[in-house]
Amino acid sequence: METSRIPGFYNRSVEGRRELLKSMDVFSEEELQGLEAKEGLPTETADKMIENVIGTYPLPLGLGLNFLINGKEYVVPMAIEEPSVVASASHIAKIVRDSGGFTTEATERVMIGQIQVVGCEDFQKAKQVLVNHKTYLLKQANEAYPSIVARGGGAEDLDIRILNEASNSSYQQMLVLHLYINTCDAMGANIINTMVESLAPYIEELTGGKVYLRILSNYADKCLARAKCVIPPDILKTGDFTGEEVRDGVVHAYEFAASDPYRAVTHNKGIMNGIDPIVIATGNDWRAVEAGAHAYASRHGQYSSMTSWSVDQEGNLVGELELPMSVGTVGGSINVHPISKIALRMLNVESAQELAQVIIAVGLAQNLGALKALVTDGIQKGHMALHSRSVAIAAGATGELIDIVSEKLVEAKEIRVGKAKELVEEYTK
């Protein structure tokens, strides 16, 4: 698409937004029908995806706008129930695009498979035997999944650690083999698990030990994505706050999160507010991304901020985010869920690496959105105004009454279900 900058998008009706996107070739007529379908995920498809299915659980799907990443325009599908996330992401993306956009990069897509070996008579000797058989083991692993090798991926390397060697407990002593696997455009859990399971008998034979666990690690620290933005202070000006005040507030807020886990958890939750909705919309495994991201935030020994914010020599605000991003554009439920296929088409990404870069940029935007609000008006002003619509619905408002009640709640500065019920009663008398 030519631009992700669509002024007044939020003022249109849902139908108007869809028609506009179709005219912009963001999606096709068929995809439009897929989005309009009452059941975005047909029950019979859901029944094949998990067990004991009784229905489906829909979430709102919104679009993050204004994203300019490495010079390319993106409209970002976001599946989320929390108000103000999509608006905040789009607001910050607009600020960043006015500063030249996000720059991002991603490492090779190398994922880790783990094999746990216990009960070796001599762990050092067992380790050496495995090191000596590295080429053989890599070949065996690749033979277990030849199609990923044909795609240019596969097992590329391995290393071996001994844990708790000095322990008196044989339960604690173990050898752990890490298999490094390039999973190309797949998240790769099944590819990895197949490979590590296939290696187990060879490893038992070579070490004389017993293999227990054979599974991927969600601590995907060799599958990283990075985003950066550089923003001149003048475009950060907000209400009565100067751009410099906002910039300095953001850096102070970052230093708080960098030093205090109580703050860092909430700071990082705000980042995941941007990341999870895209991971969900594209059919990826958000538990895997969450687990890896939080572990990475502790990599220096204390749970800390995922982002960093600083001021450069020209006085610009500089934000950076780096996280493991084990997402795919194929595999798992991605090619099964009709909406994830549409979401990926809308994003127009060519590879899992590119998808990871879009996701990380949105995470950085979301963090700045939250920090900017926190260091200026506070989070409640924007949040509660949007939340008021959900409160109105929870109180029983329908149709036009939703907006009427919601506005009255904001006017009264009382965004509570009790107050909303009173208003619903008053208007439906």
Binding residues vs ligand NDP (CB under 6 A): 147-148, 151, 184-191, 216, 218, 285, 288, 328, 330-333
- Judged by beta carbon, residue 217 or residue 366, the one nearer ligand NDP is 217
Q: Is 47 tagged catalytic?
A: no
Q: In the complex with ligand NDP, which residue's Cβ is closer, 189 or 325? A: 189
Exactly one of 31, 185, 276, 285 is catalytic; which is it? Answer: 285
SS3 386: helix
Q: What are phi and psi of 33, to 5 degrees?
A: -65, -35
Helix (H, G, I), strand (E, B) or coil at 357: helix
Structural tokens at position 188? 């790769």
429 flagged as catalytic: no
Closer to ligand NDP by Cβ: residue 217 or 305: 217
φ and ψ of 229, to 5 deg: -140, 150
Angle at 179 between CA 174 and CA 181, to 5 degrees: 160
Q: Compute the least distance from the CB of residue 321 to ligand NDP, in Å.
A: 21
* Minimum distance from residue 279 beta carbon to ligand NDP (Å): 11
Residue 269 a catalytic site member? yes
With respect to ligand NDP, which residue has the nearer C-beta, 26 or 223?
223
DSSP classification of residue 366: H
CB of 222 to ligand NDP, least distance (A): 15
> For residues 117 and 174, is the Cβ–Cβ distance under 8 A?
yes
Task: Check 125, 139, 252, 269 and give the catalytic one.
Answer: 269
Smaller CB separation from ligand NDP, 331 or 369: 331
Is there a catalytic annotation at residue 185? no
- In angstroms, give the least distance from the CB of 150 to ligand NDP: 7
CB of 223 to ligand NDP, least distance (A): 12
3-state secondary structure of 181: strand
CB of 105 to ligand NDP, least distance (A): 20
Q: How far apart are CA 159 and CA 252, in angstroms?
A: 41
Q: Which of 91, 222, 337, 383 is catalytic?
A: 383
Contacts of 122 by beta carbon, 8 Å cutoff, 6+ apart: none
Residue from 82, 159, 221, 245 carrying the catalytic annotation: 82
Q: With contact defined as beta carbons under 8 Å apart, do 185 and 147 qualify?
A: no
Q: Is 304 helix (H, G, I), strand (E, B) or coil?
A: coil
- From CA 194, how far away is CA 200, in angstroms rounded? 10
Residues 6+ apart with CB under 8 A from 143: 198
Q: What is the DSSP string of 72-101?
A: EEEEEEEE-SSTTHHHHHHHHHHHHHHTT-
Q: Report the residue number, 89 or 112, with the smaller CB distance to ligand NDP.
A: 112
**Residues designated catalytic:** 82, 269, 285, 383
